[in-house]
């Protein structure tokens, strides 16, 4: 009853684990699939090993998490081993390989490698508000988004999802550039730029000062972005941001999302969040006497 098809990929539910949570090692990614995620998005992987920012890199706020990780990752060569384990242990598992680079050629080279490793799809992480040398500017310019998307599509045969930043004047302009570049879908949204200051020491808590906000506070922004994108662009959207319960997923789907990413919600509710959300969604649909297909984008028709 909760099954969906996303760019030709059959999922047993709309729930996808978002990039950045338990997704650097094969063992933790396998745990996500076993816990009920219909697909797992890998840690964003670059061309070489990246240490990330110095501690502190996480700050808890009243309404979500600020992270200043700085895209730490083992690099695409080392990540081959994790993908090999995944494919040997779960050959049927849907893996979305997330990648980042500073230019189109770099994205294309990484996408080819992820496809060779057995990824089911590619996620282009075009923005990170807390990584030195790779910030929102990569994904804030529609012409750059178009160029990167087009180059990656030129060299890959699997679906390509472009993850967009909300830290722009118009996310619809970016979505239209994705569509023109041949993207198969969009992931929206990435984290929102934020900051927290320790009033006792008079200084920012994160070592990088400004980080990326996730969690409940950004859900209304994510809903708005999905609604705007799906009203203007004919591409499937993975809605991401602030998902904690079944109603959150239903809201994203009503805004037009075809699937929904769960990220920091795992911090709040643990791995049981996937099965809990499925149960809550089924209870909602039964109470309303509806099917999942009935509510996709329904807010556009009201």
E strands, 95-236, are: 95-99, 121-125, 160-164, 185-188, 192-195, 197-198, 203-204, 210-214
Nearest to 126 by CA among 112, 118, 138, 108: 138
Is residue 225 annotated as part of the catalytic site, yes or no?
A: no
| 39, containing H or E segment | strand 39-41
**Which residues pair with residue 30 across a beta bridge?**
none
Tokens 């934020």, located at residue: 194
φ, ψ for residue 113, nearest 5 deg: -65, -45
Q: Which of 7, 63, 128, 245 is catalytic?
A: 128
CB 188 within 8 A of CB 239: yes
E strands, 43-84, are: 58-61, 64-67
Q: Structure tokens of 283?
A: 């209870």
227 vs 223: CA distance, rounded Å: 6
Nearest to 42 by CA among 22, 58, 27: 22
- Give the torsion through C-alpha atoms of 204, 206, 209, 215, to 10 deg: -110
Nearest to 124 by CA among 137, 108, 113: 108
56 vs 69: CA distance, rounded Å: 9
93 vs 115: CA distance, rounded Å: 14
Active site residues: 128
């Amino acid at each position: 009853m909760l099954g969906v098809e996303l760019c030709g990929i059959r999922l047993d539910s709309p729930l996808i684990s978002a990039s950045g949570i338990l997704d650097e090692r094969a063992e933790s990614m396998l745990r996500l699939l076993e816990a009920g995620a219909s697909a797992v998005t890998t840690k964003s992987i670059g061309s070489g090993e990246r240490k990330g920012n110095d501690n502190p890199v996480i700050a808890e706020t009243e309404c979500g998490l600020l992270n200043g990780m700085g895209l730490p990752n083992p690099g695409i060569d080392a990540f081959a081993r994790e993908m090999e384990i995944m494919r040997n242990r779960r050959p049927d598992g849907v893996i979305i390989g997330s990648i980042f680079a500073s230019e189109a050629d770099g994205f294309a080279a990484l996408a080819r490698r992820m496809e060779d490793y057995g990824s089911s799809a590619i996620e282009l992480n075009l923005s990170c508000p807390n990584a030195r040398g790779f910030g929102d500017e990569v994904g804030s310019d529609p012409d750059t988004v178009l160029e990167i998307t087009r180059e990656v599509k030129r060299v890959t045969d699997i679906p390509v999802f472009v993850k967009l930043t909300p830290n722009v004047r118009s996310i619809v302009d970016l979505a239209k550039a994705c569509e023109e570049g041949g993207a198969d879908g969009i992931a929206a949204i990435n984290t929102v730029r934020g900051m927290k200051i320790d009033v006792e020491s008079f200084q920012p808590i994160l070592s990088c000062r400004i980080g990326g906000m996730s969690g409940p506070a950004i859900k209304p922004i994510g809903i708005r972005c999905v609604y705007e994108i799906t009203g203007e662009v004919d591409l499937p959207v993975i809605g991401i941001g602030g998902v904690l319960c079944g109603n959150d997923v239903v809201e994203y789907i009503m805004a037009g999302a075809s699937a929904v990413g769960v990220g920091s919600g795992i911090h709040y509710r643990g791995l049981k969040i996937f099965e809990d959300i499925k149960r809550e969604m089924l209870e909602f649909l039964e109470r309303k006497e509806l099917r999942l297909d009935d509510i996709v984008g329904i807010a556009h028709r009201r």
